[in-house]
Amino acid sequence: MKICTIIAEFNPLHTGHKRLIDFAKSFADTVVVVLSGNFTQRGLPAVSSKHNRAKHAILAGAHLVVEIPTIFATASAQNFAAAGVQIANKIGSHYLLFGSESGNIQQLTQCAKDMLECQQNNDTIKALLNQGLSYPQAVAAAFDKYQQLLAAPNNLLAVEYLKAIYTSNSTIVPVTLQRTSNYNDSNGQSSKSIRSALQMGLSHNECFDYVLHDCSTAAEDNFKQYVARAISTMDCDYLSTIEGVTEGLENRIYKYATCGSYDQLVANLKTKRYTQLKLQRILTNACLGVTKQMVQQAKGLPIPVQILAVNKDREDLLSHLATTREELNPTVTNLTMLADRLYQACSNKPCPQNFILKV
């Protein structure tokens, strides 16, 4: 059995994702998707529950879907990638497939190795962060040779996957497929463009009917209303402990916490250092109680493998992964359960626990 793993959000799944799964099946007999849970890297609830998105992955051709726990699914690119690769290692993956704007695995590999080996550039990144640049901006500026390469979001994430493979001494073979669609094209192969269409009540020609049927912006809309109120109850001492909060940001959050809407709060807090996405992750961390100490504890323990869905013709994979599911990480598991309960409250739909969907 040759396993190819894809780390994904599928928020929502579209034709570009289907192309990735089909490509994986051209060189591996088993495709496993390591999927974000009910909250994503945007720091917001997904447009469809993790079980629905796992079902969509199976319908698109994947054989098994397992979960990236919330504490890593809503994390920075480095922590998100490291968690995904750790899970891929644990399930015995032979390949890791990811999309990239480059499509050049040699170029991405060399960039990852240079970043790992060049401590001077890493010090430069820290200095640029202290000057107020965001992480993607700081990385691109520190590595002039790769500035254009790292300016593209999927390239940057691809490099983080490669760094995680090398630092974990993994035997996984990385494979990339070039992304061909424009993110800013309203009709392109982009989850962002599909979410925008959903906000306006429109369909999208790059999304499947079985996906759109399960999608809704209700969870995100209700979550934003909840955060706008909940954040006003948090004091500076508490906010200073939250993952992602540095340089006195807790004081700015406290200052603007009663300004009104969620979007207005984010706009008031946004700076060169604190991008919209980073702020959204911080606000979610605050509402879920994700502290810096909690993240450090979680990173030091094995990540449990939680199966979300399996192709009904490949239930042999359940026995293959049986031993990987025995390890417990209370910090990770309890937070994911809390996030699932919050997602259920915001979406007004049931969210089953420890349920394996067979499609």
The answer on 335 and 241 residing in a single domain is no
Q: Is the pLDDT of residue 292 over 70?
A: yes
pLDDT given for residue 179 in this prediction:
87
Report the CATH number that the domain containing residue 139 is assigned in CATH: 3.40.50.620
Between 340 and 181, whose confidence is greater? 340
pLDDT value of residue 193: 76
* CA-closest candidate to residue 9, choices 23, 1, 22, 20: 20
In terms of domains, do 228 and 208 share one?
A: no
**Which whole number is the average pLDDT over 220-234?**
96
Would you say residue 324 has pLDDT above 70? Answer: no
Eight-class DSSP state of 172: P
137 and 252 together in one domain: no
Residue 219 pLDDT more than 60? yes
At 32 the pLDDT is: 98
Domain check: are 104 and 175 in the same one? Answer: yes
Position 120 scores a pLDDT of 61
Residues 122 and 257 placed together within one structural domain of the fold: no
* Residue 67 resides in a domain: yes
Show which of 238, 260, 292 is a domain's final residue.
Answer: 292
Q: Looking at the predicted structure, is the pLDDT value of residue 357 above 80?
A: yes
Q: How many degrees, rounded to 5, is the angle at CA 294 between CA 67 and CA 89?
A: 35
The answer on 267 and 324 residing in a single domain is no
**How many CB atoms sit inside 10 A of residue 189's CB?**
22
Domain's final residue, options 241, 257, 292: 292
Lowest average pLDDT, out of 20-24, 33-37, 139-143, 253-257, goes to 139-143
Q: What is the pLDDT of residues 68-102, one digit of tens each?
A: 999 999 999 999 999 999 999 999 999 999 999 99
Q: Report which of 13, 170, 71 is spatially closest to residue 161, judged by C-alpha positions.
A: 170
pLDDT value at 57 more than 90: yes
40 close to 353: Cβ distance less than 8 angstroms: no
**pLDDT tier, 155 (very low <50, low <70, confident <90, very high otherwise):** very high
Average model confidence (pLDDT) across the chain: 90
Tokens representing 283?
């606000």
Output the CA torsion sign for 117, 121, 127, 128.
Answer: negative
Domain range for 233 is 220-292
Which pLDDT score is estimated for 266? 97
* End-to-end Cα spacing for the chain: 21
Q: Report the pLDDT value the prediction gives residue 322, as an integer from 0 to 100.
A: 72
**pLDDT greater than 80 at residue 103:** yes
Confidence of residue 145 (pLDDT cuts 50, 70, 90): confident
Asked whether residue 297 is domain-assigned, the answer is no
Please check whether residues 328 and 234 belong to one and the same domain.
no
| Burial state string for 298-307 with b = 16 or more CB within 10 A and e = fewer than 16 | bbeeebbbbb
Report field, pTM of the whole predicted structure over 0.75: yes
Same domain, 50 and 71: yes
Q: Which residues fall within 8 angstroms of residue 27, CB to CB, at 6 or more apart?
A: 2, 4, 95, 175
Domain boundary among 292, 317, 347: 292
Q: Does residue 244 share a domain with residue 122?
A: no
pLDDT on residue 119: 59
Residue 278 shares a structural domain with residue 348: no
d(Cα 172, Cα 95) in Å, to the nearest integer?
5
| Nearest 10 degrees: Cα torsion 340, 194, 203, 70 | -10
193-217 tens-digit pLDDT? 788 877 767 667 788 999 999 999 9
What's the structural domain count of the chain?
A: 2
Residues 6 or more apart whose CB falls under 8 angstroms from that of 347 comprise 45, 49, 216, 218, 219, 222
327 versus 333: the higher-pLDDT residue is: 333
**What pLDDT does residue 125 have?**
79
> Is 262 inside any structural domain?
yes
pLDDT of 188 over the 60 cut? no
Q: What is the pLDDT of residue 154?
A: 93
205 and 172 share one domain: yes
**DSSP letter string over 110-157?**
HHHHHHHH-HHHHHHHHHHHHTT--HHHHHHHH-GGGHHHHTSHHHHH
Q: What is the largest CA-CA distance in the chain?
A: 56
Does residue 165 belong to any structural domain of this protein? yes
Tell me the two tokens of residue 153. Answer: 């979001």
> Around 48, how many Cα atoms within 13 Å sit in the side-chain half-sphere?
23
Closest CA to 290 of 66, 57, 54, 39: 39
Does 197 share its domain with 337?
yes
Burial of 112 (0-12, 13-18, 19+ CB in 10 A): buried
Count Cβ neighbours within 10 Å for each residue of 74-97 and write b for 16 or more, e otherwise. bbbbebbbbbbbbbbbbbbbbbbb
Q: Could you tell me the two tokens for 337?
A: 């359960």
Which residues of the chain form beta strands (DSSP E)? 3-8, 30-36, 64-68, 95-100, 173-178, 307-310, 357-358
> Quick one: pLDDT band at residue 350, thresholds 50, 70, 90?
confident
